[in-house]
Structure formats: structure tokens, C-alpha cells
Chain A
Amino acid sequence: MVERIVKWLLAITAFSALASLLLIALFVFKEGLPFILKTGLSDFLFSSHWDPSHGKFGILAMIVSSLAVTAGALLVGAPLGICGAIFLNEFMPVSVMRIIKPAIELLAGIPSVVFGFIGVTVLAPFIQHNFGGAGLSLLAASLILGIMILPTVISISVDALAAVPNSYRDGALALGATKWQSVHMVTLKAARSGILAGVILGMGRAIGETMAVIMVAGNSVQFPRSPLDSVRTLTSNIALEMNSAIGVHRQALFATGVVLFVVIMILNAIAGVAIRRKIRGK
């Protein structure tokens, strides 16, 4: 009897998470799809002319900007995170690691508005002073997001590295490999699917982040021609204008949400395929 109740309770809780995801997806599509069908793909997806007060709703520049910001964040966050994880797991005594890893995970709990604030008051003026441009830029957004995804990348990579059996390392060393050789030829190879998963989760965080990006990216609707250009991502567009949007404008923002949804699903699918390939390749 108890068994049954517990089973049902668990089923209901599990389903509630799934149901809310489904409901959100349904709602966004219901509000946004009619607009896309009405406007037509070419005027919506393949135009970069966004001027809601004159009935122009092209979001191509924002799609490109979203991808550029995410790529920039990965360019900053992935190497730092992976190298950090290697150092933490392979070169650091276990006792020190026990202190440092929770500290890094704590970084994940810092609200994004704090990152954004540091970006606006410190990073953007620094970029403007040293490199030119307005400071609020693709570069600033990439750097801030790169740091924001570090905890995700590091902690998952560390877990992946720690899961590699010590016998692998011992075997490599016994064959005469140096410490570095054993790390990059054996341990890293064995842990690569886990590390890739960490990077992909980081990517998910980067593309979905809104607050910090609104604060540091400048939000101009344009194609980024240099890292110093100001850009607007899909998430920023929704959050920026939702407050004051009515009528068609509002529908257009829901449609932006639909596109964001699809972009994230495509990226996840590509990442999933990549992981499966890697595992099979092993």
C-alpha cells in the first residue's frame, strides 16, 4: 500500500516538472506562431530590420548576435574551465580540492545581476578606455558570460575527470609516460564525453542568460562586425520590450521566444549528436 502511494506521489511530482515545461512551450508557440505565419518567414527570420513602431519585425541580427555572444562565452569559458578542471583534479592534492571545488560551485549561486553590474561599472569602461567603442559590447557580454559559465564547466569536468579510474593513470605512468602525457593522452580522452557535456550545459546557460546580457551588451539591433560592437540577443529583446509592448509588437516578442526555443533545440540536438559520436569513437 505504502509502496503504491509513494510510487504515485513520485510519478505526480515527476510529471509536474514535465507538464510545466510542456505548458510553457505550448503557451509560447500559441502566442507566437500565428504572428510568424502572418508576417512570413522572410520578413521575420531573414530580415534584420527591427522597428516595431513602424511595423518592422526582422530578427536576423538578433539570432546572429545570440549565436555570437554564446560562441564568445564558450571561447572564454570553455578553455578556462577545462584547464581549471584538469589542474584541480590532476595536479592538486585532494585535500585542497575539497575546499576549492565548493568555492567554485558557490560562484554559480551569484545572481546574474551582480555579474551585470560589475560588467557595467568596471568592464565596460575598461573596454572603452583601452579598445574604443562604447564599452557595452559583444566583447563585454562574452567575457561576463564566459565567467558565468565557469562553475558549470569546471564542476562537471572535474566530476568527469574524477570518474576516470586511477588504474588508467597508473598504467600510463607505468608505461613511462610523464604526468602531462598521461593527462592529455589518457585521462582527458577517457573523460571527454563528460567534459563535452559540461561545455554544452555551459552553452545552454550562456544562450539563455538575459539580465547580465541586457546590462552589458548595449542592445543595439545590428549585425556585430567587430567584438566592440553593441548587440542585442533574442532573450534581451524579449525582456527589454515586453513591458511596453502591446498588440502586434507583443506577439512579435512571443514569436522571438519561439525562435529562441527552436535555436536552443537545434543546438542541443547538435551537441547530443556530437557526444554520441565521441562515445562511439572511443
Chain B
Amino acid sequence: MAMEMTAGYIETAIKRGLQAIVAALIAFTSGCGRPKASITMAGSTAFEPFAVALSKEYKKIRPDVRITVQGGGSSLGIMTAMYGIAQIGMADLVKLPQEAVGLTATVVARDGIAMVVNVANPVTDITEAQVRDIFNGKLTNWRELGWEDHSITVVSREAGSGTRSSFEKLIGGIVLVKSALVQDSNGSIRETVINDKYSISYLSHGLINQEVRSLSLDGCECTAENIIGGKYKLSRPVFLLTKGEPAGIVKDFIDYMLSHESQEIIHKKGLLPAK
């Protein structure tokens, strides 16, 4: 009983804080023009830039609708959608957590998770079983993957990260080895892999650049074609979460994001279309 009360207490505190932020934003912007409707989106930082781009395009068709896009991570996306603070929450998880039950989820895009290593690493392919063993701490030396005799530096995202939970669910059976390094963003994961010749980690497909190299998984390259075609195993959907079935202007905007043109924009900018 006491437990439930405190949980509720914290929830209200968070809710009030978020409401205050949104209210402040609305108050701040309401001076300039008076659109008839407004939509707030919040959540996944991976999808945030896409949402911004799409909302700008949408504004050309419906100038009377104001769309506010905020980041904050998948968890915040779920939370804000649940409390009705944002009409649309964004989350990039392979499986939505229990907290998200009762929300309607629409898949808007897909994102691949690439296994990445340092550019100096000659290994090109890795099997799913090897990935599991490496992150479980059973496979610890690069020699076993056909490289020099040196220990593997395992690098992972922080607990609660959407990318991490998707990665662990997709590979399955991972209890992260205790000596694994932990970094809290895609950027610092990439930085760590660049600086450590013997490291291995995972990274959103759209964020691979020349400074890190992605491994093929069971002989399958992490490319857009393979992810869309379903051949590459490590891929996750990006969800748009709404409280109940989307309706009215929110539905209109979601339909717009699922339209052919919008999916083209998503594809061009690095994420993969939903279908």
C-alpha cells in the first residue's frame, strides 16, 4: 500500500513537471499567431530529427497545425504518451515495456543495429553465437575470431537504453559481462570504439561512418536492403505511441508520416521505411 502510494506520488511529480514544461512552451509560443491545433511529440532521440523534418514538411500542407518535437529518449516517449502530455510518443524498442500497455503503437520506421569494431580490426564477420558469447563474457580473446592474441573490450549502452534492450532481446540470452564498458549515447559508443583498437560494440545503423567498421552478422551485411528485406537480424521498429486509437489531427499527421513521400524522406535521411 505504502509502496503504491509513493510510486503514484513520483508519477504525479513527474507528470506535473512535464506539464509545466509543456505549458511554458505553449505560453512562450502562443504569442506568435494562433494555430487551431497543436501536436506535441516527444521521445526517441534516434527518431527526433526525422520527426522535426517531417513536421516541417507537414506544416507546408497544414499551416494551421503547430507541431512541437522534443527528444528525451524512448522512456520519456512512453511516459509522456501515457500521461497525455505528448499526443505522440516516440520509442525505438524491439518490445515495448509493461509500462506502455494501453498505448496504441504504430510502426513508422525501422532501424538496424550494427555490430561495430575499430577500423584497425581485420575481422569482417561474426556469428550470432559469438556475439552472445562476447557480451556474456565467455568469449574474451580476439584470437578466437582469427585475429591477434588480445583481450576483447566489450562496450555496451547503459541499462534502460532502447538500443541496448533491443540488442539484448534480439540476440537473446545476454547477461552483460561485468567488465563491459558502458557508455550513455551513440556518440560516446562510437568515440570509444574509435579510440580502442580491440573494442566491439553495437550502434544504430544510421550512425555508422568511416571512423568505425560494421561487421556482417552470420554473413549478412548490415545494409538498408538487408534490413528492409528482413535478412539482417538485428533490426528494430520505431514506434509512434498514442493514447487510444489516433484520431483527428493526430491521426492525420501519423497518416502523413506513413505516406509514401514521408517514408522516402525517412529513407533518404538514413532510417529505413516501415514497410
Within the complex, which residue of B10, B176, B195, B196 is in contact with A251, where a contact is CB–CB below 8 Å? B10
Asked whether A245 and B75 contact (CB < 8 A) given A120-B195, A222-B179, the answer is yes
At the interface, yes or no: A128 with Cβ under 8 Å from chain B? yes
Minimal Cβ-Cβ distance residue in A for B100:
A246
A229, B180: Cα distance in complex, Å: 10
Q: Chain B at the A interface: mostly helix, strand, loop or mixed?
A: mixed
Within the complex, which residue of B3, B73, B162 is in contact with A34, where a contact is CB–CB below 8 Å? B3
Taking CB atoms, residues of chain B closer than 8 Å to A220 are 178-182
Structural contact, A38 and B181, CB atoms closer than 8 A: no
Structural contact, A125 and B195, CB atoms closer than 8 A: yes
The segment from B61-69, B153-161, B208-216, B222-230 found at the interface with A is B153-161
Structural contact, B181 and A244, CB atoms closer than 8 A: no
Taking CB atoms, residues of chain B closer than 8 Å to A136 are 181, 192, 196
Taking CB atoms, residues of chain B closer than 8 Å to A34 are 2-3, 6
Structural contact, B181 and A124, CB atoms closer than 8 A: no
Structural contact, A121 and B195, CB atoms closer than 8 A: yes
Structural contact, A244 and B2, CB atoms closer than 8 A: no
Taking CB atoms, residues of chain A closer than 8 Å to B192 are 120, 136
Within the complex, which residue of A240, A247, A251 is in contact with B99, where a contact is CB–CB below 8 Å? A247
At the interface, yes or no: A218 with Cβ under 8 Å from chain B? yes
Taking CB atoms, residues of chain B closer than 8 Å to A243 are 72-73, 75, 160, 184
A280, B75: Cα distance in complex, Å: 55
Asked whether A214 and B184 contact (CB < 8 A) given A230-B179, A246-B99, the answer is yes
Taking CB atoms, residues of chain A closer than 8 Å to B161 are 244
A73, B274: Cα distance in complex, Å: 50
At the interface, yes or no: A169 with Cβ under 8 Å from chain B? no
Structural contact, A134 and B196, CB atoms closer than 8 A: yes
A–B pairs, 26, beta carbons within 8 Å: A34-B3, A53-B159, A124-B195, A125-B195, A125-B196, A135-B195, A136-B196, A215-B188, A220-B181, A232-B182, A239-B184, A240-B182, A240-B184, A241-B158, A241-B184, A244-B73, A244-B75, A244-B158, A244-B159, A245-B75, A245-B160, A246-B78, A246-B79, A247-B99, A251-B6, A251-B7
Q: Name B's A-contacting residues (CB within 8 A).
A: 2-3, 6-7, 10, 72-75, 78-79, 97, 99, 153, 158-162, 165, 168, 175-176, 178-184, 188, 191-192, 195-199
